[in-house]
Amino acid sequence: MDYIFAQGNGRVITGKDKIFGVSQLAKAAIAEHGRENVTNATIGALLDDNGDLIVLSSMVDVLKEMSPAEFAEYAPIAGVPAYREILPQAAFGDFRPDGYIETCATPGGTGTIRNTISCFSAYGDTVLTSNWFWSPYNIIASEIGRKLDTYEMFNDQDGLNIEGIEKKILEILENQDSIVVIFNAPAHNPTGYTPADAEWDELVAMIKRVAAGGKKITFLLDIAYIDFAGDSVKAREFLPKFGNMPDNVLIIAGFSASKGFTFYGLRTGGMLCVTPRKDIADEFGRVTSFASRGSWSNCTRVGQLALAKVFNDDALLKKVFDERKALEKLLADRCQAFKDASAAAGLRTCPFSAGFFVTIPCDNDDAVNEELFKDNIFGIAIGGGIRIAISAITEDACRMVPGKIAEAIRKVNG
């Protein structure tokens, strides 16, 4: 790729942002045919049945009570102390893994991914994630001089391919002293997959097995969707399995308030480490703070204060959780409708159980997606499949879309 003035530094910029491009097409279709005749399944946010962004009114009330100084003042680099105190509860709930926990505020879950790669891998290192992944992982890794490699996420039985993950980790560790693995669950983006309880056990056993080789493993649990992974309490039950790891394993959880508290634009998140060693936790605090200073400096103060306020007030917290419960149901109903309609249409999807997205694997995904445009259905072709944001479409649309995708795949691929 040629640059005029900028230094390329290995950036591969593939023209206009794909999601942005398709969402522009969807907007044009809405202008032409009306909102009710267009399915815009491109948006990674929870929308109501009219296509409007859902914002938790309980969180809005908290924000409205903030004083100008609370909005305007800088936050400390590692986060407002009251926010850092509630971060373990916000991320882990009642399922805190055993170990020393240290925290650092980050601008959304994205900041955690950036800081984890920057602080726990070396320049030129390979970072590992699944073959279905949120594309910014690759952008973040390459922006700071790392490479991203992937393992096949699912085995032949549509379960988690733990054997494949282990093989790939060992392969990478032949050339590196340490590895960062990014594991997005529950309610993985883009597939909606959540490992079964036994799979979590096998995953933890595999990490311990690999760690026995002596090299350092940083395992980032990207839990950005944990509050919309079905029941948000049950969704956290697996977390204690990640306690009591060997001391050459560092667990990092990436908390995001973007989805769970509808704070998307307030850029509020945090990273939490779990380690059996206090000195490693202390170092985590120092190094992540330094890395933050050298990138975004501090994070939005008001988002942190709002969360601290909510988690320190039982009545307020209940109000937020109650309001969210209704949204969990909205999403669960859409999810079930999509599942039933896929089964009826004989459409093979990636295994899914919850979350904002469903992925339909197919050949020629760009052509299949374009075929869907003719029916005013707009998803994202993500390379090897189509991603449908069930978070952004109605239950009725979830019933209609699978049949249309099956038809489009038949038309394009025969």
Ligand X SMILES: Cc1ncc(COP(=O)(O)O)c(C=O)c1O
CB of 113 or CB of 273, closer to ligand X: 113
Between CA 348 and CA 368 the distance in angstroms is 14
Q: State the distance between the two ends of the chain, measured CA to CA, in whole angstroms.
A: 35
**Least distance from ligand X to the Cβ atom of residue 200, Å:** 18
Contacts to ligand X by CB under 6 A? 44, 108-110, 134, 184, 189, 222, 224, 256, 258, 264, 269
Q: Of 300, 304, 275, 302, whose CA–CA distance to 287 is shortest?
A: 275
State the minimum distance, in angstroms, from the CB of residue 134 to ligand X.
Answer: 4
The dihedral through the CA atoms of 393, 395, 399, 400 has a sign that is negative
Cβ atoms within 10 Å, residue 242: 23
CB contact at 8 A, 317 and 70 = no
* Minimum CB distance to ligand X, residue 204 (Å): 21
The CA-atom distances, in angstroms, between 108 and each of 70, 342, 351 are 19, 33, 27
Nearest-approach distance from CB 170 to ligand X, in angstroms? 25
| Helix and strand totals (H; E) in the chain | 14, 12
Shortest distance, position 172 Cβ to ligand X, whole Å: 21
Residue 168 or 267 having the CB closest to ligand X: 267
Reduced to 3 states (helix: H, G, I; strand: E, B; else coil), residue 222 is strand
Contacts of 32 (CB under 8 A, 6+ apart): none
CB-nearer residue toward ligand X: 44 or 243? 44
CA 130 – CA 143 distance, rounded (Å): 19
Nearer to ligand X, 241 or 267 (CB): 267
Minimum CB–partner distance for residue 177 and ligand X (Å): 27
- 404 three-class SS: helix
**Closest to ligand X by CB, 44 or 79:** 44
Q: Given the complex with ligand X, which of 165 and 182 has the nearer CB atom?
A: 182
- Tell me the residue nearest to ligand X as measured from the CB: 108
